[in-house]
């Protein structure tokens, strides 16, 4: 396997504050940088003037390199869409968990080939906007057979696949919710666990309560799955406290938080994942990520890509919204979308560009990472590399030359 050296970066974001050539900030910024990769990992990072030889040279022509985005929350396996529901919301209809049933019906009616093709299309969109790792949940099948189909597609597409049988109680169990909880924590879990790393519960108004969530997550943990949780999106249920008590890797959404929740999170190893796309597309009050960071909570940003609340695959869009609406600095938002996402997946091999880490990175056609928020809605990612191989490249003619 040959080594490749990337030269002429205006800026390299390493997320490694200890890098000697870096600026010592959490982003570990290096100007006039080079990076060498060897097979699937990073072999050298520093100033171009000290760069070692490599077999292949790539001139990045004044662009910026960042760690690939780690999108730690998505629901990509589904049938149909909910454009009409979105349009109604924009005219004042509030979001409720009930909309999930629409997608459940369309998912059940879709064959596995259609579900797979749709999920693959969305993963390709993600790669085109710089995402190198994505977590994918099931949760739109809600029968054992349909969840098995969805879970196996998620598992084909990522090692970070999540069992979400507890998304909502499906219509046929409306009057027998205890039976549904028993099914999720029993046969459905047993059938899906081989294709899942994580277990999640939508613990909120209109979905599952804290006791149900505790039971289901406990059953998943007993099967070897790791817990994570949809928490405090619509109401303050106590799901954040439950997540911390279970040492969940992440509690996600976190719109309805009080000071106690922040204290509990700050003294835990549970990450708070905010989902700017969901708050944007449900026209909700934005999660207060500024207050979380100021309280010492580790914050991740993810897309929550799903057909109901957040039909975006773009982490740059989520960064721009987090900066504009959640009052994060561009540096904080980028960290949360890369290193923060890695922490939300309990991964230490990604989210950082340092020797020995995975060669997962995105090339931004701009002189600084700040442009990700400064130029909202502009497709700035010119190339995405995962495990040392190029996943996506914009033809050179469409990549503007950066001046700095
Ligand atoms: O993360 N909140 C629960 N689940 C999804 C929404 C699912 C849907 O409405 O289809 C979310 O926002
Ligand atoms: Fe979600």
Find the angle CA(80)-CA(84)-CA(85) to the nearest 5 degrees: 90
Protein residue whose Cα sits closest to atom 5 of ligand 1: 309
**What separation in Å is there between the alpha carbon of 309 and the centre of ligand 2?**
8
**What separation in Å is there between the alpha carbon of 363 and the centre of ligand 2?**
28
Q: Which atom of ligand 1 is nearest to the CA of 95?
A: 9
Note whether 326 and 365 are within 8 A (CB).
no
Q: What is the pLDDT of residue 96?
A: 86
Mean pLDDT of the 161-178 span: 98
Q: What is the average pLDDT value for the chain, to the nearest integer? A: 96
Mean pLDDT of the 61-75 span: 98
Q: Out of 308, 312, 318, give the residue to mutate to test ligand 1, the one with the largest number of ligand atoms within 8 Å of its CB.
A: 308
Rounded-to-integer distance, Cα 132 and Cα 270, Å: 22
369 class by beta-carbon count within 10 Å (0-12 exposed, 13-18 middle, 19+ buried): buried
Rounded-to-integer distance, Cα 107 and Cα 356, Å: 41
Rounded-to-integer distance, Cα 227 and Cα 213, Å: 10
Note whether 143 and 167 are within 8 A (CB).
no
Rounded-to-integer distance, Cα 364 and Cα 371, Å: 9
**What separation in Å is there between the alpha carbon of 182 and the centre of ligand 1?**
22
* Residue 395 predicted with pLDDT over 80: no
**What separation in Å is there between the alpha carbon of 74 and the centre of ligand 2?**
6
Nearby residues for ligand 2 (ion, Cβ within 5 Å) = 304
Q: Out of 107, 150, 167, give the residue to mutate to test ligand 1, the one with the largest number of ligand atoms within 8 Å of its CB.
A: 167
Q: What is the pLDDT of residue 399?
A: 43
Question: What are the tens digits of pLDDT across the range 179-214?
Answer: 999 999 999 999 999 999 999 999 999 999 999 999
Phi-psi region of 180 (alpha: psi -120 to 50; beta: other; left: phi over 0): alpha
Q: Which residue spans within 213-255 are E strands per DSSP? A: 226-227, 229-231, 250-253
- Number of H-type helices and E-type strands within the chain: 15, 17
Closest C-alpha among 67, 72, 61 to residue 301: 72
Mean pLDDT of the 292-307 span: 98
Question: What are the tens digits of pLDDT across the range 81-99?
Answer: 999 999 999 999 998 888 9
**What separation in Å is there between the alpha carbon of 253 and the centre of ligand 1?**
10
- C-alpha of 340 from chain center: 9
Closest C-alpha among 233, 346, 336, 231 to residue 290: 336
Rounded-to-integer distance, Cα 340 and Cα 259, Å: 21
**SS3 category, 360:** coil
Rounded-to-integer distance, Cα 150 and Cα 78, Å: 8
Ligand 1 residue neighbourhood (C-beta within 6 Å): 75, 99-100, 103, 202, 230, 233, 278, 304, 306, 308-309
* Residue 168 predicted with pLDDT over 60: yes
**What separation in Å is there between the alpha carbon of 230 and the centre of ligand 2?**
6
* Sequence-distant (≥ 6) Cβ neighbours of residue 96 within 8 angstroms: 206, 234
Q: Which helix (H) or strand (E) holds 342?
A: helix 339-344
Q: Which atom of ligand 1 is nearest to the CA of 252?
A: 1
**pLDDT grade, residue 1 (50/70/90)?**
low
Note whether 235 and 284 are within 8 A (CB).
no
pTM of the model: 0.97
Backbone φ and ψ for 220, nearest 5 degrees, come out as -65, -45
Protein residue whose Cα sits closest to atom 12 of ligand 1: 309
Note whether 155 and 195 are within 8 A (CB).
yes
Q: What is the pLDDT of residue 133?
A: 98
Q: Which atom of ligand 1 is nearest to the CA of 82?
A: 10
Query: What are the chain's domains?
Result: 3-68+351-398 (2.30.40.10), 70-344 (3.20.20.140)
- C-alpha of 57 from chain center: 31
* Residue 101 predicted with pLDDT over 50: yes
């Amino acid at each position: 396997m040959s080594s490749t050296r990337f030269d002429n970066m205006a800026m390299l974001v390493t997320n490694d504050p200890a890098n000697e050539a870096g600026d010592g900030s959490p982003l570990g910024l290096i100007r006039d940088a080079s990076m060498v990769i060897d097979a699937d990992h990073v072999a050298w990072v520093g100033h171009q003037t000290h760069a070692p030889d490599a077999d292949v040279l790539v001139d990045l022509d004044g662009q910026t390199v960042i760690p690939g985005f780690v999108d730690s929350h998505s629901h990509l396996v589904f049938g149909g869409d909910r454009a009409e529901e979105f349009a109604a919301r924009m005219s004042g209809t509030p979001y409720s968990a009930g909309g999930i049933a629409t997608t459940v019906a369309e998912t059940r009616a879709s064959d596995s080939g259609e579900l797979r093709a749709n999920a693959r299309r969305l993963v390709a969109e993600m790669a085109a906007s710089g995402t190198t790792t994505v977590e994918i949940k099931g949760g739109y099948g809600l029968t054992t057979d349909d969840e098995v189909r969805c879970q196996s597609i998620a598992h084909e597409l990522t090692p970070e696949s999540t069992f979400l049988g507890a998304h909502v109680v499906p219509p046929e169990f409306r009057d027998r919710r205890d039976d549904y909880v028993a099914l999720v924590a029993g046969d459905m879990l047993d059938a899906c666990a081989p294709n899942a790393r994580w277990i999640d519960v939508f613990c909120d108004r209109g979905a599952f309560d804290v006791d149900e969530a505790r039971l289901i997550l406990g059953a998943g943990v007993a099967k070897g799955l790791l817990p994570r949780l949809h928490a405090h999106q619509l109401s303050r249920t106590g799901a954040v406290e439950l997540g911390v008590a279970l040492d969940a890797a992440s509690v996600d959404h976190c719109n309805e938080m009080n000071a106690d929740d922040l204290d509990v999170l700050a003294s835990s190893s549970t990450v708070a994942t905010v989902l700017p796309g969901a708050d944007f597309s449900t026209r909700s009050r934005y999660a207060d990520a500024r207050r979380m960071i100021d309280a010492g909570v580790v914050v991740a940003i993810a897309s929550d890509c799903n057909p109901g609340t957040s039909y975006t695959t773009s982490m740059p869009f989520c960064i721009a919204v987090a900066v504009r609406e959640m009052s994060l600095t561009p540096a904080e938002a980028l960290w949360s979308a890369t290193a923060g996402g890695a922490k939300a997946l309990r991964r230490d091999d990604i989210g950082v560009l340092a020797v020995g880490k995975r060669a997962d990175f995105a090339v931004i056609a701009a002189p600084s990472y700040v442009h990700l928020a400064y130029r909202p809605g502009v497709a700035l990612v010119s190339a995405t590399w995962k495990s040392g191989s190029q996943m996506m490249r914009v033809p050179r003619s469409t990549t503007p030359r950066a001046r700095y």
